[in-house]
Amino acid sequence: MQREVALKILSPAMTADPEFVKRFMHEVQTAAMLEHPNVVTAFDAGQAGDIYYLAVSYVDGEEIGKRLAREPVIPEREALQIVRGVAEALAYAWNKFQMVHRDVKTCQHHADLRRHAQVDGYGHLQVPVREQPINHDRLHCGARPTT
């Protein structure tokens, strides 16, 4: 196909655990459903011997978290452009598939050299179970509370 891709590979140590394989395959299936300018595109997935892989579009840029570690203050216009791209990707997943990203954090997002935000982390997308009411006593924003 002559295109640059990034490969996500399930660690060989994890392939012995059926639960990790199941989670990885969930990520593959979710990735196949999503097509949006602000979502990293999945091209191929499979298994070669005992190696499970997912080929996704290569983002010529850096993780937002790494950028913030290097440069703690991003110019306002650029920051708003990145946040808007992430918000549009999350809105797309919800509006089209009622999927919720359960782990929104800076290492799941990339900005390419044109400052175009790309969301990754398909394994954290989940279709909500509608039969279960939300327990507002256990609803938290931000980091998971420590005990």
CB atoms under 10 Å from CB of 57, counted, come to 17
For residue 105, the model assigns a pLDDT of 66
Counting every residue written for the chain, the total comes to: 147
User: Tell me, what CATH number does 63's domain have?
Assistant: 1.10.510.10
For residue 73, the model assigns a pLDDT of 92
Please give the model's pTM, rounded to 2 decimal places: 0.71
For residue 139, the model assigns a pLDDT of 39
Task: Give the residues of the chain that fall short of pLDDT 50.
Answer: 129-147
Range of the domain at 43: 5-129
Residue 145 within any structural domain of the chain: no
Residue 142 within any structural domain of the chain: no
76 sits in the region (left: phi over 0; alpha: psi -120 to 50; else beta) called: alpha
Residue 15 within any structural domain of the chain: yes
Residue 100 within any structural domain of the chain: yes
User: Is residue 137 annotated as a catalytic residue, yes or no?
Assistant: no
Say which of 17, 50, 103, 120 is annotated catalytic: 103
